[in-house]
Each structure stands twice: as structure tokens, then as C-alpha cells.
């Protein structure tokens, strides 16, 4: 035990832990709790039944009340443990509750009806996952529709963005032509025009193009990004021109050079941009909110937002849907954490 402790408190330099080290670990532990806690709580809650969600104070683990099938009754009856009165210690099934009284029966002896007051009993619970919260999503809501819309937008927008931005980056990194500096400045200046400040005219243009209430109205306007062009251009600048010249000697067309040489060689930068694009598009909210007004076109984000208004009390479906919405991004994160970190650090975000 002492050796384990010595190992744990050992720092790389071999010195003992200073009080600042303790403070650091305390801060980081608090960080785990504060950053992961809410998401863990959400996931646990999403497996609770509607009745369990109403429980106050709430429990960490999801519980369900035990039920029992009794001869002569079609539905399963909830079980209660009697904590007082003449049946103390017995487990009874409830038939119905009337005010402060409840009609119970003994499952062993279902003919006799017993009358008890409700403060003399407590429910018999067991830990159980309410997976019906999830299955309900597919039956009661057009969840798959929203999921498909989100997926379609994310994939198409990412592909389009990669193609368009890498073509521009190729031109800006590998060609000497008049006006190159002007184009570079134009691209930079679009940094100053975030979607949020041109919502009204953007809406007109998208409507005029017939893209209002169409998924393409969300996909196309964001396809060209200054961030994407610059990220790829910086990377392509590091590819030696000699490779291109050699290919030209072999009579390769410029297009072939672009997609057979430049694109494969820029794969790391393209991967980073792809991950960022997937993240932005999957989580996009304001522009889809304006363009997609019919519920069959909703993305998951829009559906979640509109349901939280409508289903104020139906938290069980809402929580399950929230979990399913964050799941794809969580998976991407787990596998590609390193790339995401480098990508964000090198582009400075959007």
C-alpha cells in the first residue's frame, strides 16, 4: 500500500508532491465532475421511466416499480411494501388509489380486497433501464426522418466544402497569376461577414434560388469558408513544386495533378477540415432554424428545440432524443480526439 502511494505521489522529477500539485489535482477532479457530471446525469436520466423522472429527490440509478400479474386482472399491478398498519411487512399489489386511500390485494390470495392509507406503504423498486424511452422515439416521432436530414446535410455539406475549398486552395497555393493577392484578400475579408449579420439578405437569396425549406438551402450557403481555404492552402504550400513539375513532364493534366497528387498529399489537412466541418454542420442551429420551417425538414437540433417547447412534461422522450443527438459527435470525439484538438488549435475555430 505504501509503495502504491509512493508511486502515485511520485512526480516525473522524482520529488514529492508540492501543495500546488495537490491543488492542481483537486481542480482537475472538480473539472471531471463538472464537465462529465451533467452528461452522465443526462444519460442516466434518459433510462428512467416517466414516473421515476417525477421522483423528488431524484436518484442516480434508474428504478422501476416491480409489478406482478395477478389472476383475473389484465394489466400488471404495481407492488408495494407495507410499512405500517395491520399488514406491515407484507408485499401487496395495488388495484387503484382513491385520494389518501388505496385498494390493495395480496398477490398470493387475490380474492380479498384490502384497504390501506397510502402513507403506510412504499413502492418496491428495482434497478431497470427504461429502454422504451428510446424505442418510443422511433414509433411515436419521426426520429429517423430528423436523423436522416441531419446526416444528409452533414455529409453533403462536408463533401461539397472539401471539394470547393481544396480547389480554391490548390489555385491559391500552386499557381502564379495576376490577381492572386486580391483573391486572397477577398477570401480573408469574408471572415468579417459571419452568417449572423447577413441573415435577411441571405434569406432572400436562398428563397430566390428556390432553396427555402430545402435541405440544400442549408448545405450550399456555408460551403465556401475562409477557414477551410486557408487551412488547406497553408498545407499545400508545403508540398514541393517539383512533384507537380514531374507530373507535368509526364503530360498529366492540371485536374489530374489536383486530384491524383495534391489531394492525396493533403490528406492530413483534409481530415482535420472534414472533422471540423462534420462538427459544425451536425451542430448548426440558427441558419437551419430560418431555412427549414416545415417539421419534415427538421434536423435533429431543430426537432429537439421544438419538442422541448411542445413536450414540456414529456422529459423521458426528450432526454432520450438528446442522448441520441450527442451520440454521433461523442463517437467521433472518442476516436479522433487528437485530430480535433490539432485542427482547432491550428485554425482558431470557425
Partner 1 sequence: MLSLISPLMRIVEIPMLALQRLLGMNKLAWVFLAPNLVLFGLFAFLPVILNFSYATTGGDNVLLADRPDVGLRNFVQLTDCTNHFDPNSCREDKFWRAVWNTTWFVTLQVGFMVGFSLLTALILNRDIRARGFFRAVFFFPVLLSPVVVALIWKWILQREGVLNAFLDWTGAGGINWLVDAGWAFAWSVFISVWAHMGFYTLILLAGLQAIPRDVYEAAIMDRASPWRSLTRITLPLLAPTMLVVLVLALIKGVQTFDEVYAFTGGGPGTATTFIIQYIYERGFAGAPRLFGLAAAASLLVALVLILLTLVQLWLNRRNVDG
Q: Which of residues 211-270 bind partner 1 (CB under 8 A)?
A: 220-224, 229-230, 234, 237, 253-256, 258-259
User: Minimum CB separation from partner 1 for residue 133, in Å?
Assistant: 13
* Span from 63-71, 81-89, 115-123, 202-210 in contact with partner 1 (CB under 8 A): 202-210
Contact call for residues 120 and 85 (beta carbons, < 8 A): yes
Asked whether position 22 contacts partner 1 by CB under 8 A, the answer is no
Burial 271-287 (b: 16+ CB within 10 A, else e): ebbbbbbbbbbbebeeb
Nearest to 282, CA basis, from 224, 226, 331: 331
Residue 114 C-beta: closest distance to partner 1, Å: 32
Q: How far is the CB of 51 from partner 1 (least distance, A)?
A: 13
Nearer to partner 1, 23 or 127 (CB): 23
Q: Which of 49, 94, 165, 297 binds partner 1 (CB under 8 A)?
A: 165
Closest approach of Cβ 322 to partner 1, in Å? 5
Cell numbers placing 44: 442516466
Which residues are within 8 A (CB) of 97 and not within 5 positions of it... i.e. 6 or more apart? 103, 118
Residues in 41-70 at the binding interface with partner 1, rule: CB under 8 A: 41-42, 45, 54, 56-58
Least distance to partner 1 from the beta carbon of 9, Å?
Answer: 10
Q: Which of residues 93-152 bind partner 1 (CB under 8 A)?
A: none
Query: Binding to partner 1 (CB under 8 A): which residues in 281-340?
Result: 282-283, 285-286, 289-290, 301, 304-305, 308, 315, 318-319, 322, 325-326, 329-330, 332-333, 337, 340
Nearer to partner 1, 25 or 138 (CB): 25
Nearer to partner 1 (CB atom), residue 97 or residue 248: 248
Residue closer to partner 1, measured from CB, 116 or 232: 232
Would you call 142 exposed, middle or buried from its count of C-beta atoms within 10 A (0-12, 13-18, 19+)?
middle
Nearer to partner 1, 106 or 125 (CB): 125
By CB under 8 A, tell whether 191 contacts partner 1: yes
Nearer to partner 1, 55 or 113 (CB): 55
85, 99 contact by CB (below 8 A)? no
With CB under 8 A as the contact rule, the residue among 118, 183, 247, 265 that binds partner 1 is 183
Residues near 112 by beta carbon (within 8 Å), at least 6 away in sequence: 105, 106
Q: How far is the CB of 128 from partner 1 (least distance, A)?
A: 20
Q: Is 186 in the site for partner 1 (CB under 8 A)?
A: yes
Q: How big is the site for partner 1, counted in residues (CB under 8 A)?
A: 99
Write down the least CB distance from residue 107 to partner 1, Å: 32
The least distance separating partner 1 from the CB of residue 103, rounded to whole angstroms, comes to 28
CB of 266 to partner 1, least distance (A): 14
Amino acid at each position: 500500500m505504501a509503495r502504491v502511494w509512493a508511486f502515485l505521489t511520485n512526480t516525473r522529477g522524482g520529488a514529492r508532491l508540492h501543495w500546488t500539485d495537490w491543488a492542481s489535482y483537486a481542480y482537475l477532479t472538480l473539472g471531471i465532475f463538472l464537465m462529465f457530471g451533467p452528461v452522465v446525469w443526462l444519460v442516466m436520466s434518459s433510462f428512467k421511466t416517466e414516473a421515476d423522472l417525477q421522483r423528488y429527490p431524484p436518484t442516480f440509478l434508474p428504478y422501476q416499480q416491480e409489478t406482478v400479474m395477478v389472476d383475473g386482472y389484465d394489466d400488471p399491478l404495481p407492488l408495494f411494501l407495507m410499512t405500517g398498519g395491520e399488514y406491515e411487512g407484507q408485499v401487496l399489489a395495488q388495484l387503484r388509489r382513491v385520494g389518501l386511500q388505496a385498494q390493495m390485494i395480496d398477490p398470493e390470495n387475490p380474492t380479498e380486497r384490502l384497504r390501506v392509507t397510502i402513507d403506510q406503504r412504499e413502492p418496491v423498486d428495482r434497478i431497470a433501464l427504461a429502454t422504451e424511452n428510446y424505442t418510443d422515439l422511433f414509433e411515436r416521432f419521426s426520429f429517423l426522418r430528423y436523423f436522416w436530414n441531419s446526416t444528409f446535410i452533414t455529409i453533403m455539406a462536408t463533401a461539397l466544402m472539401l471539394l470547393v475549398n481544396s480547389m480554391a486552395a490548390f489555385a491559391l497555393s500552386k499557381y502564379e497569376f495576376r490577381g492572386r493577392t486580391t483573391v486572397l484578400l477577398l477570401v480573408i475579408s469574408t471572415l468579417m461577414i459571419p452568417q449572423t449579420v447577413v441573415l435577411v439578405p441571405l434569406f432572400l437569396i436562398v428563397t430566390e434560388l428556390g432553396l427555402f425549406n430545402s435541405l440544400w438551402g442549408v448545405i450550399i450557403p456555408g460551403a465556401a469558408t475562409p477557414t477551410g481555404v486557408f487551412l488547406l492552402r497553408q498545407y499545400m504550400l508545403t508540398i514541393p513544386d517539383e512533384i507537380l513539375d514531374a507530373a507535368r513532364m509526364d503530360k498529366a493534366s492540371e485536374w489530374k495533378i489536383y486530384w491524383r497528387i495534391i489531394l492525396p498529399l493533403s490528406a492530413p489537412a483534409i481530415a482535420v477540415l472534414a472533422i471540423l466541418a462534420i462538427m459544425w454542420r451536425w451542430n448548426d442551429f440558427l441558419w437551419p432554424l430560418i431555412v427549414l420551417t416545415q417539421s419534415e425538414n427538421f434536423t435533429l437540433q431543430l426537432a429537439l428545440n421544438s419538442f422541448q417547447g411542445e413536450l414540456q412534461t414529456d422529459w423521458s422522450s426528450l432526454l432520450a432524443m438528446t442522448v441520441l443527438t450527442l451520440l454521433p459527435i461523442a463517437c467521433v470525439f472518442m476516436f479522433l480526439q487528437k485530430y480535433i484538438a490539432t485542427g482547432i488549435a491550428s485554425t482558431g475555430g470557425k
